[in-house]
Amino acid sequence: MKDEILSHLNEPAQLEKLYRRDKAPFKRAFSALYPELQGNALAEFWNERLNYETEEISWGTRSEFLFVVIAALLAGIVAKLPAIFPISEEFFYPRNISFLVFPFLAAYFAWKNKLSTGRLSFISFVIVVCLLYINSLPNNPQSDTLVLACIHLPLLLWVILGVAFTGDQLSNYTKRLSFLRFNGDLAVMCALLVIAGVLMTGITIGLFELIGFKIEEFYFEYVVAFGLPAVPIVATFLTQTNPQLVNKVSPVIARIFSPLVLVMLVIYLGAIIFSGKDPYNDREFLMLFNVLLIGVMALIFFSVAETSTKTKYNSGIWVLLLLSIVTVVVNSIALSAISFRISEWGITPNRVAVLGANVLMLVHLLIVTVMLFKTATKKADISEVGRAITLYLPVYFIWTVIVVFLFPLLFGFK
């Protein structure tokens, strides 16, 4: 990207094409080049353009705002289907909770990115197949394969969302990294909206209660039921139209929590020795152990996505390297525990699913750890860590497809 910017430095039209083709890498490359380009009129213009921030909140175009409102209403209606039709909530929500969010977010990015008919057809086809498939599985709440399919289906739909987000640049690793960064920003914005919603709910119910009206049932039945599915849709809209709202908060969160989680993990591993608990013989503890592992991996990937926007090396790389090494230890313990349980008590769908996930995560973590070490020792750029993260993502997709679609058949819907 740097070479392309330099070769077209005096060609405004070509620079504009480069910027529109991939905005984030363009901004990073230009920022790195700017110190040696100062004094060039066109470079000065681009520097101001790329770094200009407004304090005003943008509500997008009228059509975009209308699209979000309609999508939020439709998501709320889908959430209320068990109340509208004679559908069991126990049957509906575990299978369809992910369809309250991901299809609408995918539709937003498909519309925003003006996806080709072929790509749009593919996304629609996969979503419909997933919807029909998950709702056609036998209604057996005790079925492990059903529970696994319901747990892994959101990850499958998340990948489809990534396809819509990246548009026609699915193979571009920087675009995939932008998708990971978007997920971090989305989580921050959703948290802010939920906090605001909780405060509004408490104030509203309290005010009506003061004048003798009990509105709790109505409020939760309609306002909250429509509001919760709308949160990720509205949050996505805000992050895309107002990136300045969270583009400084997310890096701060990553920088603060990475060392804190590192210290917590080290202390936690030491505390396990004295607690008498172990993941080898305690099933619930092993499950929580794996949830912790997934959370820490998500933090590492989110932190790398945020750090990759910087052009300088800093102590944060070493923190991420140490955090990755400790996470490898945690993953190794979890992997040995599930291997022990399989050798002692045999194969079950849950054990195979956990074993496969642990193996995939361990391989991924080892790759990322090696790249972080090279980056910390200045043998590679931080962008190479981002490449290592994003190029491995299809492996998770393949495993998710296996768990969702093949496990029920392989294990006889047990």
Q: What digits encode the pLDDT tens for the residues 100-136?
A: 999 999 999 999 888 888 899 999 999 999 999 999 9
pLDDT confidence of residue 97: 93
Give me the percent of the chain exceeding a pLDDT of 70. Answer: 93
Question: Is pLDDT of 244 > 80?
Answer: no
Given its phi and psi angles, is residue 11 left (phi above 0), alpha (psi -120 to 50 degrees) or beta? beta
Instruction: Give the confidence band of 44 by pLDDT, cuts at 50, 70, 90.
Output: confident
pTM of the entire predicted model: 0.83
pLDDT confidence of residue 364: 93
Of residues 274 and 164, more confidence is placed in: 164
Q: What digits encode the pLDDT tens for the residues 216-225?
A: 888 998 899 8
What CA–CA distance (Å, rounded) separates 286 from 107? 37
Rounded to an integer, the average pLDDT of 180-208 is 91
pLDDT confidence of residue 227: 92
Instruction: Give the confidence band of 370 by pLDDT, cuts at 50, 70, 90.
Output: very high
pLDDT confidence of residue 76: 93
Q: What digits encode the pLDDT tens for the residues 300-339?
A: 888 887 766 554 546 788 888 999 999 999 889 889 999 9
Of residues 206 and 43, more confidence is placed in: 206
Q: Point out the least confidently predicted range of 54-58, 208-212, 223-227, 238-242.
A: 54-58
Give me the percent of the chain exceeding a pLDDT of 90. Answer: 38
Name the most confidently modeled range: 25-34, 42-51, 222-231: 222-231
Mean pLDDT, rounded, of the chain = 86
DSSP-derived secondary structure for 232-291? HHHHHHHHHH-GGGTTTHHHHHHHHHHHHHHHHHHHHHHHHHHH---TTT-HHHHHHHHH
Rounded to an integer, the average pLDDT of 212-237 is 91
Of residues 50 and 134, more confidence is placed in: 134
Rounded to an integer, the average pLDDT of 365-380 is 89
What CA–CA distance (Å, rounded) separates 260 from 299? 11
Question: Is pLDDT of 232 > 90?
Answer: yes
Length of the chain equals 414
Q: What digits encode the pLDDT tens for the residues 12-26?
A: 888 888 777 666 667
What CA–CA distance (Å, rounded) separates 327 from 330? 5
Of residues 2 and 90, more confidence is placed in: 90
Q: Where do we find the tokens 């709320």? A: 76
pLDDT confidence of residue 56: 64
Name the most confidently modeled range: 20-29, 267-276, 357-366: 357-366
Retrieve residue 370's tokens.
């090696």
pLDDT confidence of residue 169: 79
Instruction: Give the confidence band of 151 by pLDDT, cuts at 50, 70, 90.
Output: very high
Contacts 24+ apart (CB under 8 A), 71-75: 71/104, 71/107, 71/108, 71/233, 72/104, 72/226, 72/229, 72/230, 72/233, 72/234, 73/226, 74/104, 75/100, 75/101, 75/104, 75/226, 75/229, 75/230, 75/233
pLDDT confidence of residue 201: 93
